[in-house]
Amino acid sequence: MTNSIEAVALGKRYRRRWALQDCTVAIPAGRVVGLVGANGAGKTTLMHLIVGLLRPSAGAVTVLGGRPGEGPDQLARVGFLAQDAPLYGTLNVGDHLRLGRHLNPGWDEAAASSRIDGLGFDLRQRAGQLSGGQRAQLALTLAVAKRPELLLLDEPVAGLDPLARREFLQSLMESVAEHHLTVVLSSHLLGDVERVCDYLIVLAAGRVQLAGDVNELLATHRVLTGPRRDPRSLPGDIEVIEEAHTERQSTLIVRTETPIVDPAWTVTELGLEDLVLAYLGQSAAAARPPTSPLNANEGPT
């Protein structure tokens, strides 16, 4: 089994609105996958489909070879940290650990207590009184001590201050290294994704725009700057993701497997953030009525 998650034409509809549509994606095992997209892009929906909280309206998704949420064994193999780290406000920290112990046959008590000790939790403190960072850490402890093979985290650091964010990601990476987890982490903070993820999926408007190994993506994407010209005149193996033109100059973001040899272009590398924004911009442009390609400064801002 080389893929942890395989989705084929997966879709989820709420009444008339499609929250996720025609999502075909394979997420390899043993990777730390960043799931990136704007708010409302369908990240949470996709995660809920993978853990079995939701059922697909169209298509299918296979998780670790099984159907999501189908039986206790399947549930035991997938850990989930939902958005805003839901915890029971009136239960204290110790109660939550006990909850994890009672509801998970594979519960790793040693891992849980060492994490809780290391984080300096007071077991008698109510979850409702914890800070955002502590909530996220406690929720992560529950998800990790369950000893899943696949761990999904939905915007785990969205509400945290920079320090708590760094500590959270650090302890996440320690757990990943220790337990050989496959991780899918959704975020709209591209810096965090760049720091911890080695595989990237870009979701926009309920569809997958881009999926691939981060290094591979960075190696195959380039920024071309040169005298103004029509991008359609480029060789066929170069795919234009984004274009911006001034009166004299064209700036293109392209995907290509082969090196750019045309001396007219200045070729520079592309950061992950710009890469993601280019694909998000592309999907936004696709949603707008078409305009002429040489039509003023259309591009990222």
Partner 1 sequence: MIWLTWRQFRVQILVAIGAFVVLGAVLGYTGPHLVHLYHDSGIRECQASRGDCGPLVDSFTSHYPWWHGLGPLITVIPGLIGVFWGAPLLARELETGTYRLAWTQSVTRTRWLATKVLIIGVATIVTAAAFTVIVALWLSPLDTVNANRFSPGAFSQHGIVPIVYAAFAFALGVAVGAVLRRLVAAMAVTLVVFTLVRLVIQQWVRQHFATPIHVISALFGGGSNAVGPNAWVVSSRVVDRTNHTVAIHRDSLRSTCGLPEGEFSRDALRACAQRLGLHQILTVQPANRYWPFQAWEAAIFAVLAVLLTGFTFWWTRHRIT
Residue ranges binding partner 1 (CB under 8 A): 48, 51-55, 69, 71-73, 75-76, 78-80, 82-84, 86-89, 91, 95, 98-100, 102-106, 139, 142, 146
Residue number with CB closer to partner 1 (104 or 171): 104
Bridge-based pairing of strands 58-63 and 3-14 is antiparallel
- Shortest Cβ distance from residue 99 to partner 1 (Å)? 6
Residue number with CB closer to partner 1 (80 or 265): 80
Spatial separation of the C-alpha atoms in residues 157 and 160, rounded to whole Å? 5
- Shortest Cβ distance from residue 292 to partner 1 (Å)? 45
- Shortest Cβ distance from residue 151 to partner 1 (Å)? 11
Residue number with CB closer to partner 1 (96 or 255): 96
E strand map for the chain: 3-14, 17-28, 32-36, 58-63, 78-81, 150-154, 182-187, 199-204, 207-213, 221-227, 239-245, 249-255, 266-268
Residue number with CB closer to partner 1 (50 or 200): 50
- Shortest Cβ distance from residue 48 to partner 1 (Å)? 8
Residue type, 2: T
Cβ neighbours of 276 (radius 10 Å) = 23
Residue number with CB closer to partner 1 (84 or 298): 84
- Shortest Cβ distance from residue 102 to partner 1 (Å)? 5
User: Would you say 188 and 246 are in contact if contact means Cβ atoms under 8 Å apart?
Assistant: no
